[in-house]
């Protein structure tokens, strides 16, 4: 089976089990592409090393990785009557993922309530063999998952206990986190710049998360 590396764009082959057919190093840039004003116009460079577009990657990893997500195992937010308070709950959600033989999988989930209290924070054992913990961005290391027994199904069960179809969820790139959680949730979104108080709340939540991690 063919896969496309989400870091360098190379095409590589994997077996039915997801293992690489051939070991090939991945040479890539981890930074974003940014345009800068220069005399006479604009130039485009990577934020990681200031390298120009087309230059060899500044990072090397032992294997290519892909970010596919299996469509198997999705659950839905349940319908339930409102609590006595009449509020279905407001929570900020953040997930960290790692690369496995089957793509991108959940490695950690954190939930903060409207009082900025962390009510759920756990590492998650991926279903498949980990290729890269993506520590630079996820903060998750191999040591963090040693002895970890929580599966994505355990996490889904916990989330379904307090998140309903009417709950308000806040997060950055929330659609990606919900996909990693394999959690179907109906919601409307608005850009954070249109809701200044949302921006402050999310910023506070992330600060709170960082102090707990």
Check whether residue 110 and residue 185 sit in a common domain.
Answer: yes
Check whether residue 102 and residue 40 sit in a common domain.
Answer: no
Per-residue pLDDT at 81: 65
Check whether residue 173 and residue 149 sit in a common domain.
Answer: yes
d(CA 57, CA 39): 26
Per-residue pLDDT at 201: 46
Phi, psi (rounded to 5 degrees) for 171: 180, 165
Query: pLDDT exceeding 90 applies to what percent of the chain?
Result: 65
| Residue 68 within any structural domain of the chain | no
| Residue 85 within any structural domain of the chain | yes
Check whether residue 98 and residue 171 sit in a common domain.
Answer: yes
For residues 128, 9, 27 and 133, what is the CA-based torsion angle, rounded to 10 degrees? -20
Token pair of 78 as six digits: 């349940």
Domain count, the chain: 2
Check whether residue 154 and residue 208 sit in a common domain.
Answer: yes
- Tell me how far CA of residue 116 lies from CA of 7, 167, 189, in angstroms: 34, 16, 21
CATH of the domain at 94: 3.30.420.10
Per-residue pLDDT at 186: 67
Structure confidence by residue, pLDDT tens digits, 158-213 = 999 999 888 889 988 888 999 999 998 765 444 444 444 444 444 444 444 444 44
pLDDT category of residue 148 using cuts at 50, 70 and 90: very high
d(CA 75, CA 187): 15
For the chain, what is the radius of gyration of the CA atoms? 20
Check whether residue 52 and residue 138 sit in a common domain.
Answer: no
Q: Average pLDDT, stretch 44-71?
A: 93
Q: In terms of residue numbers, what domain contains 56?
A: 2-61
Structure confidence by residue, pLDDT tens digits, 25-46 = 999 999 999 988 888 888 899 9
Check whether residue 37 and residue 105 sit in a common domain.
Answer: no
Token pair of 13 as six digits: 């082959």
């Amino acid at each position: 089976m063919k896969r496309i590396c989400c870091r360098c764009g190379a095409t590589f082959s994997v077996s039915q089990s997801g293992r690489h057919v051939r070991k090939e190093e991945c040479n890539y840039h981890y930074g974003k592409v940014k345009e800068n004003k220069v005399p006479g116009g604009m130039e485009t460079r990577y934020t990681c090393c200031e390298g120009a577009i087309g230059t060899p990657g500044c990072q090397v990893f032992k294997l290519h990785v892909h970010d596919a997500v299996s469509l198997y195992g999705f659950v839905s937010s349940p319908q339930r009557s409102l609590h006595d308070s009449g509020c279905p709950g407001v929570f900020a959600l953040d997930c960290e993922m790692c690369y496995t033989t089957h793509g991108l999988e959940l490695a950690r989930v954190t939930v903060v309530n409207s009082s900025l209290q962390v009510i759920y924070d756990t590492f998650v054992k991926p279903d498949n063999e980990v290729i890269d913990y993506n520590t630079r961005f996820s903060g998750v290391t191999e040591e963090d998952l040693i002895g970890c027994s929580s599966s994505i199904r355990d996490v889904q069960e916990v989330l379904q206990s307090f998140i309903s179809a009417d709950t308000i969820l806040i997060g950055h790139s929330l659609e990606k986190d919900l996909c990693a959680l394999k959690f179907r949730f109906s919601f409307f979104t608005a850009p954070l710049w249109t809701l200044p108080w949302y921006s402050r709340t999310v910023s506070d939540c992330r600060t709170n998360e960082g102090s707990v991690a």
